[in-house]
Structure 1
Amino acid sequence: MPRLQSGVWKHFTPAIKDGRETFMCNYCSRTYTKNATKMQMHLDKCKEYSVLSQQSPGPDGSSSASIPVPSFSFLPSATPGGQFLIDSVDQRSQAYADECLARAIYATSSPLTLTDNIYWKRFFSVLRPAYCPPTREALSSHLLDCEYDRVQNQVHEAIGKADCVTIICSGWSKIKESGTIIYIVATPVPLFYKCTKTKEQTHTSTFIAEELKDIINEVGPQKIFSVVTDDAPEMMAAWAQVEEAFPHISAIGCTACGIQQLFNDMVAQPSIKALCRRAEQVVRYVREREILAETFRCWQTTKVRDHTSNRTTLVLPTSSDWTGVLNMFSSLLEGQSSLQEMAVSPALNVEASIRATLQDSAFWKGLSSSHNLLYLIENSIDYMKREDAVLSGVVDMFSQIRYHIGASLSGSVLHGAEQKAVMASLDRCQEFCVKPIHAAAYMLDPKHVGQQTLSGEQINSAYYVISNLSHHLNLDEGKVLGSFARFSAKQGLWRGAGIWSSCQHVSASTWWKGLCSSEPLSAVASAILQIPPTTGACERLRSCFCNTKVQGSLSADKVQKLVAVQVNLNLLEPSDCEYAPLESEDDKKVSFQSETQ
């Protein structure tokens, strides 16, 4: 029987066993060390394989690999009485399959080692026996580079079509010497644009301002109306430099970051810290004693119908979770009756100090009031981190926070000086989070028309923002403000009730662009109302970077490209041309060169 010589390798799957490289026959699963002669002799005798692989010219002159496939019950035979189906893949089809497979792996955040797995290889062999999937090296090199370039072209195309763009940036550092800053361009879809590795000496306001100005110039300053950053001092110091270079752009802080600082300031108050220590002592005492822990669990189970509830567990705060204190307070309050019964039970030996705490009504009152205050702030942070959070909701949210904190402080564990400190922290938080453009967004959102929440100073600052953007967009300022007057008075286009009820079913920016596009104010309003209030999109990207780094031995450049492809592929709508058969596009250049085993 003729021999395959160099073609023998494609009939075997490489693997590492006991530190040695082995090769398993794709037909009978017998394993060999790397020896082409023995492997060829095996193929000559293999019962599952008795027909030669061959190379035959394809219709376009390129070579195509033909692989004999055993006639399993689920595969058709070549002839009614034959044993094998001959499959072949030409170079163009191989390249297109590699491209599609790579894209699927990137979009689903699948490990790049997927194609090295024997079970996936067998699966591909069943689907297309002659197809040889790309290696991990190919997926992390030229395939990734080509897909990154293709996706970046789509990103730039999406940015070019957008009428309003916001630059979002946030940084974090795991070690003192260096950090990473993520830059996102929201169209309003938050598309990952780039990230920058920084060192301590370069992580300055000037460096960040120059980076932001470069991105603004690359994207096009005409359509950028805002820059949103986290609350790092370097970021805040860069705002003035950006606004000086581009007077129509408003630099604002992440609302969620500002409110989280308020949460941290409240937890840092001495009275709440003392309450936390007492609460943690109770939790540790019960959790570390098996009899008490089991008794608490059983008693809670009988009180709670839903036995799958996590309310039967006492929680300790963790350093990695900033909501740990609130979770601990919640778990204690949910188990209050069981804990108090345990304290007086003659069958349980509870330490006197712990018993005194559990029977102290002031402890439980302080726990409840502090929980309510912190819960209010946590809810506000969670609301702002939602993907549908809007800039116009920031003003109203702070009005509610101020009202509820003011009403709750008198009954809390906080003393006079501490209450003043909390209110001062709230003032700083509001100063950081609420800028003139927030007031303008509030006034332009049809859901808030007629509500008297803004101060006179805020209203005047909103007028300035609207006038400034009118000049930037080459609109007649008088006509824009006249349109704003009719909108506020519900006259003209806004006279009927139907147009106001419609704003409950679409976003405010869509409402302005769709129903009010004939008004001079429409372009200004729709642009402002597309600005996101937080850097939440950057926060969501952090986990992508951490997960990607787990893939091992990828350079920083490769990690950035992989994250960019993963994130943006799932945000950009795929075009129909991506799925057109490659063989039918005679003039299309093959952008992916197959690199297989």
Structure 2
Amino acid sequence: MPRLQSGVWKHFTPAIIDGRETVMCNYCSKTYTKNATKMQMHLDKCKEYSQQQSPGPDGSSSASIPVPSFSFLPSSSPGGQFLIDSVDQRSQAYADESLARAVYATSSPLTLTDNIYWKRFFSVLRPAYCPPTREALSSHLLDCEYDRVQSQVHEAVGKADSVTIMCSGWSNIKETGTIIYVVATPVPLFYKCTKTKEQTHVSTFIAEELKDIINEVGPQKVFAVVTDDAPEMMAAWAQVEEAFPHISAIGCTACSVQQLFDDVVAQPSMKALCRRAEQVVRYVRERKRLAGTFRCWQTTRNHPANGTTLVLPHSSDWTGVCNMFSSLLEGQTALQDMAVSPTLDIEASFRATVQDATFWKGLSSSQNLLYLIGNYVNYMKREDTALSGVVDMFSQLRYHIGALLSGSVLHSTEQKAVMAMLDRCQEFCVKPIHAAAYMLDPKHVGQQTLSGEQINSAYYVISNLSHHLNLDEGKVLGSFARFSAKQGLWKGGGIWSSCQHVSASTWWKGLCSSEPLSAVASAILQIPPTTGACEGLQSRFRNTQVHGSLSADRVQKLLAVQANLNLLEPSDCEFAPLESEEDKKVSFQSETQ
């Protein structure tokens, strides 16, 4: 039996004859039943097909496929029947590259080109074009695109004047087995990931990985390393700072504030409130009549909870608990009416809970407290959040938590514990580099938030970096004095109002580049305060592993291409023609037979 070629279907056109599905050969017009083996046997004997496959006069082996002239395809003449379409090897390779790039950039499944509907689309678009297989998309095409994208990454790093290394993953290493490394220029570009095994000296392993990346990127332009809050990561900080004294190792602020949220929810009084709230939600949701009554009464009795759905805290982030509290508070009136209804069979425990004023007061106060902390988690995850905003954020967080704790369900000992947790969170997040960023951000000039110790530590950072950048320390500090006193360049009001419309680093580079302090300030103010980019990549990594059968090396390459393609600006060379002007006239043609 002849060997079945994978592209046999493109040589036939589907047709319906007497209600039966048939196919017609595109070369000799003979019809056959829809059977791949018979179709292949026909191609092996078809003389017209054999003639089309013979090399052209230039020695090329382009594929030329005559296809019937449909209303949406051009024909040779009003009476013409066929169109000759050809795609030479260079055009095929260029089309494959472009298609592969689109698949990677949109995180489309690598099996896309195996789908019959996509095959038909490509056939309509270009009959002679044969799209790459899944194997090609996951092998040599991926290798080529990875090399090209990594070259762009290294080029972007080379042009950057301030680089931050972000690292995350050890805290959930059992789940993913992978540590993600990102290089921020300040655009967060995926750099590499390491597949870890059980390590005896974990902190040393991580520190060595970080030091290797710093050396590869160029130590002279790396000013900070940002990691998650895993103890192993924190233990690696000292080793990095010892090897590179000008680099500051700091913790992810979003991770730490999220941990603060988790610690507050874990307090006994808060846990007890969450259990009671969940019992109320489950009691209604698991009883069809009660659930229906709750929905009905919201509309018929003009309750303020019109459209509210009672939800359970399924979300893994901070919003789960808050959404449950919110749904209960919005449905409070309906729930209390149900508890006293003579027509509903309500258990005494449910009735006691929804009629307990202390329960509802606790929900309200706790919701305010948790929403406050949770919103700061979201704030720190924003792409536009600056390192200088961390100091101000903790100042506001401390003030508002102190005000809300007194009315919460937490007992006095638990309230003291929460404030102690806040102290540890701030100690983890706020380092001298944060104080320096705060003092150098024009939006914060004149605000008295820092302690004397923090101000002195900021001076040390500025002096240290001025030496690293081969700047005159005296001139740099003199420039800093004029900036703080709003003298010299900073005397007018216009320059200060402009800082509200651009980032702080751009403000220093664009308007204050003549000042000795500019290089130090712009470098510090480009440092991101979180490892948010790493967290997003961790999620992508898990999804790629779950839904695919690629090796670890292939997954890393695919992840790198997917992440970086959407961050790097497309260059003009990506769209340059592969052929000369003379080749271009004949490489993508449609001729009449």
- TM superposition score normalised by structure 2: 0.91
Amino acid at match of 2:325: F
Q: 1:230 to 1:175 in 2, by over 3 A?
A: closer
1:250 to 2:248 alignment: yes
- Distance across 2 between alignment mates of 1:303 and 1:455: 56
Q: CA deviation at 1:402?
A: 0.3
- Distance across 2 between alignment mates of 1:439 and 1:401: 17
Identify the residue that residue 126 of structure 1 maps to in structure 2: 124
Q: CA deviation at 1:561?
A: 0.3
- Distance across 2 between alignment mates of 1:489 and 1:520: 16
Q: Which moved more, 1:540-549 or 1:482-491?
A: 540-549
What is the aligned counterpart of 2:192 among 186, 191, 194?
194
What is the aligned counterpart of 1:170 among 151, 168, 171?
168
What is the aligned counterpart of 1:274 among 272, 282, 306?
272
RMSD of aligned residue pairs (Cα, Å): 2.8
- Distance across 1 between alignment mates of 2:392 and 2:511: 25
- Distance across 1 between alignment mates of 2:358 and 2:389: 37
Amino acid at match of 2:37: K
Structure 2 counterparts to residues 333-344 of structure 1, below 5 A: 333-344=329-340
Structure 2 counterparts to residues 35-50 of structure 1, below 5 A: 35=38, 38-40=41-43
1:84 to 2:87 alignment: no
- Distance across 1 between alignment mates of 2:84 and 2:354: 78
1:32 to 2:35 alignment: yes
- Distance across 2 between alignment mates of 1:306 and 1:476: 66
Instruction: Tell me, yes or no, if the aligned pair for 2:61 and 2:88 is still in contact at 8 Å.
Output: yes
- Distance across 1 between alignment mates of 2:159 and 2:23: 52
Q: CA deviation at 1:39?
A: 3.6
Identify the residue that residue 593 of structure 1 maps to in structure 2: none
- Distance across 2 between alignment mates of 1:336 and 1:43: 78
Q: 1:304 to 1:512 in 2, by over 3 A?
A: farther
User: How big is each residue's C-alpha offset from its partner over 1:523-582, in whole Å with a ceiling of 9 and x where there is no partner?
Assistant: 011111100000000111122212322442200100110010011011000111111121
- Distance across 1 between alignment mates of 2:293 and 2:201: 53
Structure 2 counterparts to residues 345-360 of structure 1, below 5 A: 345-360=341-356
Instruction: Tell me, yes or no, if the aligned pair for 1:177 and 1:200 is still in contact at 8 Å.
Output: no
Q: 1:57 to 1:304 in 2, by over 3 A?
A: farther
Q: CA deviation at 1:245?
A: 0.3
Q: CA deviation at 1:59?
A: 7.7
Q: 1:60 to 1:429 in 2, by over 3 A?
A: farther
Identify the residue that residue 216 of structure 1 maps to in structure 2: 214
Q: Which moved more, 1:235-244 or 1:91-100?
A: 91-100
Q: Which moved more, 1:455-464 or 1:58-67?
A: 58-67
Identify the residue that residue 373 of structure 1 maps to in structure 2: 369
- Distance across 2 between alignment mates of 1:70 and 1:52: 19
Amino acid at match of 2:205: F
- Distance across 2 between alignment mates of 1:585 and 1:182: 45
User: How big is each residue's C-alpha offset from its partner over 1:251-303, in whole Å with a ceiling of 9 and x where there is no partner?
Assistant: 00000111111111111111111111111111111111111111112223457
What is the aligned counterpart of 2:580 among 579, 584, 595?
584
Structure 2 counterparts to residues 501-516 of structure 1, below 5 A: 501-516=497-512
- Distance across 2 between alignment mates of 1:41 and 1:455: 85
Task: Name stretches of at least 5 consecutive residues in structure 1 with no aligned partner.
Answer: 14-22, 45-49, 588-597
- Distance across 2 between alignment mates of 1:505 and 1:208: 39
Structure 2 counterparts to residues 128-167 of structure 1, below 5 A: 128-167=126-165
Amino acid at match of 1:142: H
Identify the residue that residue 588 of structure 2 maps to in structure 1: none
Identify the residue that residue 439 of structure 2 maps to in structure 1: 443
Structure 2 counterparts to residues 304-323 of structure 1, below 5 A: 312-318=308-314, 320-323=316-319
Q: 1:68 to 1:193 in 2, by over 3 A?
A: same
User: How big is each residue's C-alpha offset from its partner over 1:342-370, in whole Å with a ceiling of 9 and x where there is no partner?
Assistant: 21222222211111111111111111111
Where 1:63 maps in the other structure, the secondary structure is coil
Identify the residue that residue 330 of structure 1 maps to in structure 2: 326
Q: CA deviation at 1:105?
A: 0.7
Q: Which moved more, 1:57-66 or 1:455-464?
A: 57-66
Identify the residue that residue 70 of structure 1 maps to in structure 2: 68
Identify the residue that residue 9 of structure 1 maps to in structure 2: 8
User: How big is each residue's C-alpha offset from its partner over 1:98-132, in whole Å with a ceiling of 9 and x where there is no partner?
Assistant: 11111111111111111111111111111111111
Identify the residue that residue 286 of structure 1 maps to in structure 2: 284
- TM superposition score normalised by structure 1: 0.90
Instruction: Tell me, yes or no, if the aligned pair for 1:12 and 1:26 is still in contact at 8 Å.
Output: yes
- Distance across 2 between alignment mates of 1:7 and 1:198: 40
Instruction: Tell me, yes or no, if the aligned pair for 1:192 and 1:568 is still in contact at 8 Å.
Output: yes
What is the aligned counterpart of 2:451 among 449, 455, 474?
455
Instruction: Tell me, yes or no, if the aligned pair for 1:545 and 1:559 is still in contact at 8 Å.
Output: yes
Aligned-pair identity (%): 82
User: How big is each residue's C-alpha offset from its partner over 1:428-480, in whole Å with a ceiling of 9 and x where there is no partner?
Assistant: 00000111101111111111111111111111111111111000000011111
Where 1:68 maps in the other structure, the secondary structure is strand
What is the aligned counterpart of 2:382 among 363, 379, 386?
386
- Distance across 2 between alignment mates of 1:154 and 1:542: 22
Amino acid at match of 1:86: I
Q: CA deviation at 1:314?
A: 0.9
- Distance across 2 between alignment mates of 1:341 and 1:248: 65
Q: CA deviation at 1:40?
A: 3.1
- Distance across 2 between alignment mates of 1:177 and 1:41: 53
Q: 1:302 to 1:405 in 2, by over 3 A?
A: farther
Instruction: Tell me, yes or no, if the aligned pair for 2:224 and 2:527 is still in contact at 8 Å.
Output: yes
Instruction: Tell me, yes or no, if the aligned pair for 2:9 and 2:36 is still in contact at 8 Å.
Output: no
User: How big is each residue's C-alpha offset from its partner over 1:201-244, in whole Å with a ceiling of 9 and x where there is no partner?
Assistant: 26700000000000000000000000000000100000000000
Instruction: Tell me, yes or no, if the aligned pair for 1:11 and 1:25 is still in contact at 8 Å.
Output: no
Task: Name stretches of at least 5 consecutive residues in structure 2 with no aligned partner.
Answer: 13-21, 584-593
Amino acid at match of 1:541: L
Q: 1:344 to 1:7 in 2, by over 3 A?
A: closer
- Distance across 1 between alignment mates of 2:343 and 2:302: 23
Q: Which moved more, 1:556-565 or 1:352-361?
A: 352-361
Amino acid at match of 1:182: I
Amino acid at match of 1:11: K
Identify the residue that residue 230 of structure 2 maps to in structure 1: 232
- Distance across 1 between alignment mates of 2:298 and 2:201: 51
- Distance across 2 between alignment mates of 1:7 and 1:208: 47
Instruction: Tell me, yes or no, if the aligned pair for 1:183 and 1:194 is still in contact at 8 Å.
Output: yes
Instruction: Tell me, yes or no, if the aligned pair for 1:58 and 1:90 is still in contact at 8 Å.
Output: no
- Distance across 2 between alignment mates of 1:192 and 1:304: 52
Q: 1:58 to 1:40 in 2, by over 3 A?
A: closer
- Distance across 1 between alignment mates of 2:101 and 2:225: 31
